Amino acid sequence: MANIIKVLKGTKDILPQEIDQWHKLEKNALDIFTRYGYKEIRTPILEATELFARGVGDTTDIVNKEMYTFEKSERSLTLRPENTAGVVRSFIENGMARLSAPVKLWYKGPMFRYERPQAGRQRQFHQVGVEMFGIKEPIADAEVILLAVNYLKSLGLNDLEVELNSLGCPKCREEYKKRIKQVLKPEFENLCEDCQNRYEKNPLRLLDCKVDSCKAIFEKPEIQAVIKSDFLCEECSEHYNKLKTYLEKLDVKYSENKLLVRGLDYYNRTVFEIKSNNLGSQNAVCGGGRYDSLVKQLGGEDVPAIGWAMGMERLNSLLPELETTKLDGYIVCNSPIESFELAQELRAKGYNVEFDLSNKKFTKQLEKASKVANYALILGEDEIKSGKVSVKNLSTSEQITVNRCDINLRKL
């Protein structure tokens, strides 16, 4: 055992006893997203590094610190740290801009970031997310937020808070950046190293800092006055106000957070997070926003877009533990070939059944059946000779004998 090979730090096996919860997340995603007209897309986990450098942004922590990147045949490749850039790449490459708008896509799958593992966050983790292309009006923003809320509610998660902000457009945001830099200039030496690096490249990212000393600086009245000031141009302000009106009409409760900027460079106008009060300080379960320039930035046409992603590990941590799904029936018989034949007959009818491959004693088989199945299908010598099966309800102990060809476990 000393030389046993273990799972890599920051990765985790999803074991059989846990898989029912993952299936619930995936099934609800398929059901809810299909109801809203979204189609599933599956992109490769391996992409050109340039895709993330250009799309996610070279001032982000993801690109600077967290990507799994390696060289192969003189080309730089990266395991995807997020999936929006990959979906946009596929949207462009496959000519989806020619489709009737909106183009609605959803995805699920593993992502990879080299960061310190913590509760609900691993180096290989899983996300479920949606992207909508082709609609610039705020009604699209309202729909994707409502979709996220309804998906979470379908999982039984109701203790949620939607936080909302607008980053404006590049035009009105430039003046805001200048004001942020100006008011923070006297505090420059007191900012953390990351914030000092972001000061020139992307000053809005300073507001996203999680370092306590920086957060204390941002709470100063003169800095809060700039942060909370209205910098939006008329068009961006109208977009934001309409979004809030839609959410109120749809009975989606929200709060505004001027410090919410999200961690990726491609966002503009609407950004949002959905938080759970059951996760402590790292409490965001969904994050997203509008990225109207990303398609063009990656070589496509000028197509507006909005989307969000959720960490599936975090969602799982909030779900109540599901009971293991039991088999419809377990065959109890001392004739392996008879058991095998009956199992195949029932499986062909759509039942989930098993039998004892090791041919244990009759009592041991019955004991196993009581743990894993709803019904014990008993084949003794008399039943085999007469073409019948004794069916025992393992929750009530009631037992009946039926013709082998008439077994219907759904009506018993």
- Domains of the chain plus CATH, in order, are 16-168+232-318 (3.30.930.10), 327-406 (3.40.50.800)
- What distance in Å separates the CA atoms of residue 178 and residue 174, rounded to the nearest whole number? 6
The pTM (predicted TM-score) of the whole model is 0.86
Q: What is the pLDDT of residues 112-165, one digit of tens each?
A: 998 776 665 689 999 999 999 999 999 999 999 999 999 999 998 888 889 999
Where does the pLDDT of residue 85 fall: very low under 50, low under 70, confident under 90, or very high at 90 and above? very high
| 201: Cβ contacts below 8 Å, ≥ 6 apart | 59
Where does the pLDDT of residue 250 fall: very low under 50, low under 70, confident under 90, or very high at 90 and above? very high
Flag whether pLDDT at 254 surpasses 80. yes
SS3 268: strand
- pLDDT for 318: 86
Q: What does the pLDDT average to over 199-225?
A: 82
Query: Could you count the other beta carbons within 10 Å of the beta carbon of residue 284?
Result: 18
Q: Are the CB atoms for 87 and 55 separated by under 8 Å?
A: no
Cis preceding-peptide flag for 44 (omega within 30 of 0): no
- pLDDT for 278: 66
Q: What does the pLDDT average to over 78-102?
A: 95
- pLDDT for 353: 96
Q: What does the pLDDT average to over 287-306?
A: 94
Where does the pLDDT of residue 57 fall: very low under 50, low under 70, confident under 90, or very high at 90 and above? low
Q: Which of 276-290, 309-323, 373-387 has the highest mean pLDDT?
A: 373-387
- pLDDT for 177: 82
Q: What does the pLDDT average to over 317-330?
A: 87
Q: Are the CB atoms for 30 and 61 separated by under 8 Å?
A: no
More confident residue, 217 or 241: 241
- pLDDT for 63: 63
How far is the CA of 251 from the CAs of 138, 164, 244, in angstroms?
16, 15, 10
Q: How much of the chain is helix, strand and coil, in % rounded to 5?
A: 40, 25, 35
- What distance in Å separates the CA atoms of residue 192 and residue 206, rounded to the nearest whole number? 10
Angle between helices 19-35 and 138-154 (to 10 degrees): 150
- pLDDT for 392: 95
| 214: Cβ contacts below 8 Å, ≥ 6 apart | 191, 192, 195, 206
Where does the pLDDT of residue 65 fall: very low under 50, low under 70, confident under 90, or very high at 90 and above? low
Structural tokens at position 132: 């909508």
Q: What does the pLDDT average to over 244-265?
A: 87
- pLDDT for 409: 87
Query: Could you count the other beta carbons within 10 Å of the beta carbon of residue 110?
Result: 15
- What distance in Å separates the CA atoms of residue 336 and residue 99, rounded to the nearest whole number? 57
Where does the pLDDT of residue 270 fall: very low under 50, low under 70, confident under 90, or very high at 90 and above? very high
Name the average pLDDT for the chain.
89
Q: What does the pLDDT average to over 81-99?
A: 96
